Structure 1
Amino acid sequence: MNDLLKTLSDKLDTTAPALARLDNYYNGTQPAAFLTPEAREALGDRLKVLSVNFPRLAVQSVAERLQVTGFRLEGDQSEPDAALWSTWRRNRMEDAAAQAHVDSLVYGRSFVIVWAGANGQPLITVESPRQVAVLRDPATREVTSALKRWHADGRGHAVLYGPDRITRYVSQARVTDSGSLPSTGWDVVSEIPNPLGVVPVVPIVNRGRLLEVDGVSEMEDVLDLADALNKIMSDALVTSEYYARPRRWATGLEIVEDDEGNPVKPFSSALDDIWQAEDPATKFGQFEAASLSGYAELGAMLTQQIGALSTLPPHYLGLNGDQPPSADAIRSAEASLVSRCYSLQRTFGQSWADVARLVVAVRDGVDPTTLDVETVWANPETRTPAQAADAAAKLAGIGMPLTILLADQLGMTPAQVDRVREAIRTQALDSAGVDLAALAS
């Protein structure tokens, strides 16, 4: 068991630098290593970090379109399960799931742990890959063990999850921060059996290829282009500071020096002052200001490449100019982005279905491997309420059930669907003049 704890701890330590780098890019705090010493000296302390943060936009533009709206259990293919959705909401997963998507897109993976809370009800928590690591069976790729490790109260804490038992540890030595957590030297605090029979840790993996079991960051393809764009913008600012403003010159003037031999400026820079000289041979002139159009053109080219690799449409990148795109043009431009979201719904949906299976297993005491669960998503396409209502009305005209229209076309949650159905029943009874109180008595 200690060997397994060390293996997973070492994995956390090994992946920490790469995850910290991705975290810096997402936050726009990556080092400005592209600045030349001359540019850095010219800027001084006025521009320590410049980030045109397209990596974050590449993540947020996808994450904001991934919204879980329910789960369907086996044998109930028409409506999402209301009880399961109630558990989901009690665990505040509407917001936590969005955070899991963001971390998975940034780091390549995030994790969800399902267990029984103090009241015996299912407890769902979303975890960061900076604290959680898993090992998989090379043959089946199923999770065989998982570790969560963190720092609190001057000690390291860890929980090792296995299919048959869950063990909690505390470090023997005191630690100052999460960066100094040990991989050995742990004492067992408690050990409890795992009645689920599976590791209750579900990875949410942004997988690009079969062997990328730990996922790949959605920002990976645009990081170098983002650095190049930041360099161009920094160079443009240096140029605007020193060369984009006209420089004046004068000849035929006597150079006056102060007591220390330093030249004295012959003219004031006040706007209302007039420059004049008594010597008729004096001449004044002005150098032509440097043009910034080259930086703008290169910046636009890099932005287009970022859009092509990240599926970001032109109107997200500010490439449409002053003319706003039409609704049809927006849908056409977002086709690749929407297709990417549908792909992620398939990938993430399987993981969320695994989470729902564990929730039902904890709640009902059943074997999670025997359950069939489908994740229900909101439509990732950009549609106005009028367009969504029009599509729903057309489908209703061919006999599509109301509950499916409310969930699939209008993106309502199970609770909202139940509210609409209850309102329709109440309205129908009121129209028929039925007195429910009289019937009940």
Structure 2
Amino acid sequence: MTEKGIEYLRKKLIYHKIRVDLRYKQYAMKHIDRSKGITIPTQLSQQYRAVIGWCAKGVDALADRLVFKGFSNDEFNVMEIFEENNPDIFFDSAVLSALIASCDFVYISKGDDGEVRLQVIEANNASGEIIPNTGLLSEGYAVLERDDNGNAAVEAHFLSDRTDYYYSDKAKNFSVTHNVGHPLLVPIIHRADPERPFGRSRITRSGMYWQSNAKRTLERADVTAEFYSFPQKYVTGLSQDAEPMETWKATISSMLQFTAAEDGSKPTLGQFTTPSMSPFTEQLRTAAAGFAGESGLTMDDLGFVSDNPSSAEAIKASHETLLVAGKKAQRSIGSGLLNVAYIAACLRDDYPYFRYQFTKMVPKWAPLFEADASMLSSIGDGAIKLNQAVEGFINKETLEDFTGIKGAE
């Protein structure tokens, strides 16, 4: 493929960075919605600002269930590379970043001691040109370090035979050659398709809308609660010569004194109807139901606890959408991790292996839902019957995939 050049990739990163930054702000609950509605003035809007973490919950609910265990048929011993790079942090960071921003990138390099180093780079700091049939990059670009103002201080341009490093001080620029045959920047993509080769984020536009809707509802409820606590009162029939009444004193005083006018007329006291808080509760439940349907969660997950506790089977059944989304994420992210293993093995051995040599390696994941006692019993009965029908059909490895429990050696 024709080399695009670092300037093209810089512009491409700037174009997509806005979208990625928005997802990270939504996940961190730091995004401030512009429109608050026509009923709340700007001053009150700043005072009663709601914060809801539904988008973060939608990401974490799936990310926490995606536990990578390794590769089966690891003929090239690539797990040794991952074990040397703090796998507990590396895999969780790679999965979480991919779910938030639709993808992330793994920067592969070799240290002075010859060990292969792996570093996860977020999608707002890296970009590249993807090869659709392999999921690898033909050319990559990453910002490895930024200054205090957010400007790129150290950049890297990844090519099939070398990596060029660019510093803000041009005198420090240098290149490192390698014999891998692919750029040392590998994307890990969540839910890729022909229209979106770099995947789709777990934080969808619909999910952001329902969260924004819920935030507006809470803000209106907070403002209404002030009037609910201190109902508005009124007085009619006061003389025009009466001294103006302080509004705060009229609100908090337990006793007010009014005198009759010279003509004998008396003031009339009244109170406006207190607004009800029930509509806000119903509207919040509607927003929660919309977000739950979008993200595959349940109302229980969003804080609307049901009266009757559910069993493990009932919880699994209610999360059927989340289960399907998790299996899809395992396939797409597992393919990216396999590409990381392939490129890392080539760099470690200083030999350009063919990618088809790694096709027998299969990513292994822990079950999305942990098995309880009843499920273990059902799996055991099923395994006995299947082995009676076909001898050796279910073995120790298969049971571990079903239950997530590693048996005795």
User: What per-residue deviation string (whole Å, max 9, x for no partner) do you get for residues 133-178 of structure 1?
Assistant: 1112477664101111244568721111111112212135xxxxxx
Query: How many Å apart are 1:269 and its aligned residue?
Result: 5.5
Pairing partner for 2:275 from 280, 290, 293: 290
Aligned-partner residue type, residue 8 of structure 2: T
Aligned-partner residue type, residue 198 of structure 2: D
Normalising by structure 1, we get a TM-score of 0.78
C-alpha separation in 1, matches of 2:172 and 2:136: 26
Q: Which residue of 1 aligns with 2:72?
A: 72
Query: How many Å apart are 1:90 and its aligned residue?
Result: 2.4
Q: Which residue of 2 aligns with 1:205?
A: 189
Query: How many Å apart are 1:352 and its aligned residue?
Result: 0.9
C-alpha separation in 2, matches of 1:368 and 1:114: 18
Q: How many residues align structurally?
A: 390
C-alpha separation in 2, matches of 1:254 and 1:382: 75
C-alpha separation in 2, matches of 1:84 and 1:270: 72
Pairing partner for 1:343 from 304, 324, 328: 328
C-alpha separation in 2, matches of 1:267 and 1:112: 64
C-alpha separation in 1, matches of 2:168 and 2:34: 38
Query: How many Å apart are 1:358 and its aligned residue?
Result: 2.7
Q: Which residue of 2 aligns with 1:9?
A: 10
Do 1:146 and 1:162's aligned partners in 2 also have CA atoms closer than 8 Å? yes
Q: 1:266 to 1:391 in 2, by over 3 A?
A: closer
C-alpha separation in 1, matches of 2:4 and 2:312: 58
Aligned-partner residue type, residue 207 of structure 1: R
Do 1:169 and 1:188's aligned partners in 2 also have CA atoms closer than 8 Å? yes
**Secondary structure in 2 aligned to 1:130?**
helix
Structure 2 runs not aligned, ≥5 long: none
Q: Which residue of 2 aligns with 1:371?
A: 358
User: What per-residue deviation string (whole Å, max 9, x for no partner) do you get for residues 192-250 of structure 1?
Assistant: 22111122222111235322112221112311222222222212222222356433334
**Secondary structure in 2 aligned to 1:39?**
coil
Aligned-partner residue type, residue 125 of structure 1: Q
C-alpha separation in 1, matches of 2:128 and 2:248: 72
Query: How many Å apart are 1:5 and its aligned residue?
Result: 1.2
Aligned-partner residue type, residue 177 of structure 2: P
Q: 1:17 to 1:282 in 2, by over 3 A?
A: same
Structure 1 runs not aligned, ≥5 long: 76-80, 173-185, 422-441
Q: Residue 229 in 1 paired to residue 214 in 2?
A: yes
User: What per-residue deviation string (whole Å, max 9, x for no partner) do you get for residues 344-388 of structure 1?
Assistant: 10111111111122333334444152223211100002433x356
Do 2:163 and 2:176's aligned partners in 1 also have CA atoms closer than 8 Å? yes
Q: Residue 162 in 1 paired to residue 159 in 2?
A: yes
Pairing partner for 2:200 from 211, 216, 222: 216
C-alpha separation in 2, matches of 1:266 and 1:256: 21
C-alpha separation in 1, matches of 2:233 and 2:220: 23
User: What per-residue deviation string (whole Å, max 9, x for no partner) do you get for residues 10-41 of structure 1?
Assistant: 11112122222222211222223121475134
**Secondary structure in 2 aligned to 1:325?**
coil
Pairing partner for 2:111 from 117, 125, 133: 117
**Secondary structure in 1 aligned to 2:123?**
coil
Q: 1:238 to 1:64 in 2, by over 3 A?
A: same
C-alpha separation in 2, matches of 1:68 and 1:86: 15
Pairing partner for 1:383 from 366, 371, 376: 371
Q: Which residue of 1 aligns with 2:225?
A: 240
Q: Which residue of 1 aligns with 2:90?
A: 96
Do 1:196 and 1:368's aligned partners in 2 also have CA atoms closer than 8 Å? no
User: What per-residue deviation string (whole Å, max 9, x for no partner) do you get for residues 267-308 of structure 1?
Assistant: 66557x444556494444433210122222222122211111
C-alpha separation in 1, matches of 2:195 and 2:57: 27
How large is the RMSD of aligned CA atoms in angstroms?
3.2
Query: How many Å apart are 1:332 and its aligned residue?
Result: 1.2
C-alpha separation in 2, matches of 1:119 and 1:19: 35
C-alpha separation in 2, matches of 1:152 and 1:52: 30
User: What per-residue deviation string (whole Å, max 9, x for no partner) do you get for residues 294-352 of structure 1?
Assistant: 22222212221111111112221234443333433212101110111011101111111
Q: Residue 149 in 1 paired to residue 143 in 2?
A: yes
**Secondary structure in 2 aligned to 1:249?**
strand
Aligned-partner residue type, residue 158 of structure 1: E
**Secondary structure in 2 aligned to 1:21?**
helix
**Secondary structure in 2 aligned to 1:316?**
coil
Q: 1:37 to 1:212 in 2, by over 3 A?
A: same
Percent of pairs identical after alignment? 19
Do 2:188 and 2:336's aligned partners in 1 also have CA atoms closer than 8 Å? yes
Aligned-partner residue type, residue 163 of structure 1: S
Aligned-partner residue type, residue 91 of structure 2: A
**Secondary structure in 2 aligned to 1:314?**
coil
C-alpha separation in 2, matches of 1:140 and 1:403: 29
C-alpha separation in 2, matches of 1:228 and 1:291: 19
**Secondary structure in 2 aligned to 1:340?**
helix
Q: 1:167 to 1:407 in 2, by over 3 A?
A: same
C-alpha separation in 1, matches of 2:4 and 2:172: 14
Do 2:192 and 2:198's aligned partners in 1 also have CA atoms closer than 8 Å? no
Q: 1:211 to 1:266 in 2, by over 3 A?
A: closer
C-alpha separation in 2, matches of 1:255 and 1:85: 88
User: What per-residue deviation string (whole Å, max 9, x for no partner) do you get for residues 113-133 of structure 1?
Assistant: 223222212211111111111
Aligned-partner residue type, residue 161 of structure 1: F
Do 1:244 and 1:291's aligned partners in 2 also have CA atoms closer than 8 Å? no
| Range with greater deviation from structure 2 (105-114 or 151-160) | 151-160
Q: Which residue of 1 aligns with 2:234?
A: 249
Query: How many Å apart are 1:63 and its aligned residue?
Result: 0.7
Q: 1:266 to 1:402 in 2, by over 3 A?
A: closer
**Secondary structure in 1 aligned to 2:40?**
helix
Q: Which residue of 1 aligns with 2:127?
A: 133
Q: Which residue of 2 aligns with 1:329?
A: 314
Do 2:136 and 2:339's aligned partners in 1 also have CA atoms closer than 8 Å? no
Do 2:371 and 2:403's aligned partners in 1 also have CA atoms closer than 8 Å? no
Do 1:12 and 1:132's aligned partners in 2 also have CA atoms closer than 8 Å? yes
Normalising by structure 2, we get a TM-score of 0.83
C-alpha separation in 2, matches of 1:66 and 1:113: 22
Q: Which residue of 2 aligns with 1:53?
A: 53
